[in-house]
Chains A and B, each alone.
Chain A
């Protein structure tokens, strides 16, 4: 009985510690978001750093986003194709593809890939700057790390998530049309007509809002975790891991609420 009570106490202790840690992370993220919001009121973006971030986030992410989007489009058509063939509903394959890829699969998969590539990279870069005292050096030179390091990264991640979603949609369309033609035996023109007839701008905008929101989330989370690194190289590793997990969970939570709000 005593052992059982002790085990229960230990379990409660661990659950309590976990909730305390969660509250600490949420609190730190909220304070950091407040700092970012304040910096937005007096934007002092560094031109060179912003261009560097845009290039690294956008141009270098394009190949991985293109491949992800291409296969996301192709897989969606393969899934839809089973029912299209069974029901002989060839004229809805473009709609099924466009609706699911634009509204859900596109922003979600691109967001997850983006968080793994760009978010993790930002956390590792900022974390390394913290442990090598480069962030302290910035502050000692009277330069605000939020203005100089954080704002360009968040801005570039928001802008590039939107742009990459647009380009990714194009690659998804290519993947979808190609798979529909090659494996489901749907004529590309039938696919295209179904796509333009049933999928409208609102579907694309829905996805675009989600993508840019995920960009904002990944930007804030990755920079917050990067700048809060403690404990040298192992601390950087822990922060990158925590950033990827928090971003992925955040993307799903954001997606849930945005889907509810945007319809």
Chain B
């Protein structure tokens, strides 16, 4: 596996309304690798994904995606980069006025990446792949949380993106559905030979699928390395991995 980073953040800082959220983050994801991004709620994990996708610009620092300096591109040029990214949103972000099939077909139809004849066949195939056959006519409001997540996963990967950014893809799901979602993620990643960055609190599940981990604490990157290195890493990382609170005085 090449170790050349496919995604790279260099000295990235971001504040909202004067409140710093990210402090001088330098982080990279190697081509073909799976990076697990962990940290307490509000640490800035989702923001990092949005920076990588070019949805938000950093106040300082640079973001590179496959060698392209995404935060210096104009919006139309960013579209070309985003076309190679599949992003799963924490709150699904399914288009609530479109049916499941229309949601999944949406990127292909809108970007003209599939002939109309092939479109529904691909959607049906992908729905079967995420174990949701026969729900193509339903609206997102008629689905359970786990089903929405899988539809979201199907939509994000229907165009076989080489980069997968997953923002808490199993939030609020039961352990069985959580394992199923992670298995699907890894299956689709393998099929597309993709690079993945997964934000999640399911540390045990991440251990089984991630090559490396990064941990954020109050907007600062406090650890980056393998699971074995994390076990011998800073106390704050060990505490998080063991589920202990990061209270006052914690490193």
Question: Is the CB–CB distance between A132 and B55 below 8 Å?
Answer: no
B110 and A132: CB pair below 8 A?
A: no
* B50 A136 Cβ-Cβ under 8 A: yes
- Cβ contact within 8 Å between A133 and B83: no
Stretch from A91-99, A102-110, A139-147, A152-160 that touches the partner: A139-147
Q: Which residues of B contact A144 (CB under 8 A)?
A: 75-76, 79
Which of chain A's residues have a CB closer than 8 A to the CB of B110?
Answer: 46, 141, 143, 148
B-side contacts of A137, CB under 8 Å: 87, 89, 93-95
| Chain B nearest CB, measured from A60 CB (Å) | 14
Residues of B69-102 at the interface with A, using a CB-CB cut-off of 8 Å, are 75-76, 79-80, 82-83, 85, 87, 89, 91, 93-97
Contact between chains at B79 and A136 (CB < 8 Å): no
Q: CA A143 – CA B83 in complex, angstroms? A: 9
A-B contact count (CB 8 A): 50
**Complex CA–CA separation, A142 to B161 (angstroms):** 12
Q: Knowing A136-B50, A136-B55, A137-B87 are in contact, say whether A143-B111 is a contact too (CB < 8 A).
A: yes
A134 to B110 alpha-carbon distance, docked (Å): 15
Residues 125-158 of chain B: 1 if any A CB is under 8 Å from the residue's CB, otherwise 0? 0000000000000000000000000000001000
Known contacts A136-B50, A142-B80, A144-B75; 17 further A-B pairs (Cβ under 8 A): A46-B110, A132-B93, A132-B96, A133-B89, A133-B91, A134-B93, A134-B95, A136-B93, A137-B89, A137-B93, A139-B55, A141-B110, A141-B155, A142-B79, A142-B83, A143-B79, A143-B110
Smallest CB-CB A-B distances: 5 pairs: A137-B93, A133-B93, A142-B83, A140-B87, A142-B82
Selected A-B contacts with CB under 8 Å, 25 pairs = A132-B93, A133-B93, A134-B94, A136-B89, A136-B93, A137-B87, A137-B93, A137-B94, A139-B82, A140-B55, A140-B82, A140-B85, A141-B110, A141-B111, A141-B155, A142-B79, A142-B82, A142-B111, A143-B79, A143-B107, A143-B110, A143-B111, A144-B75, A144-B76, A148-B110
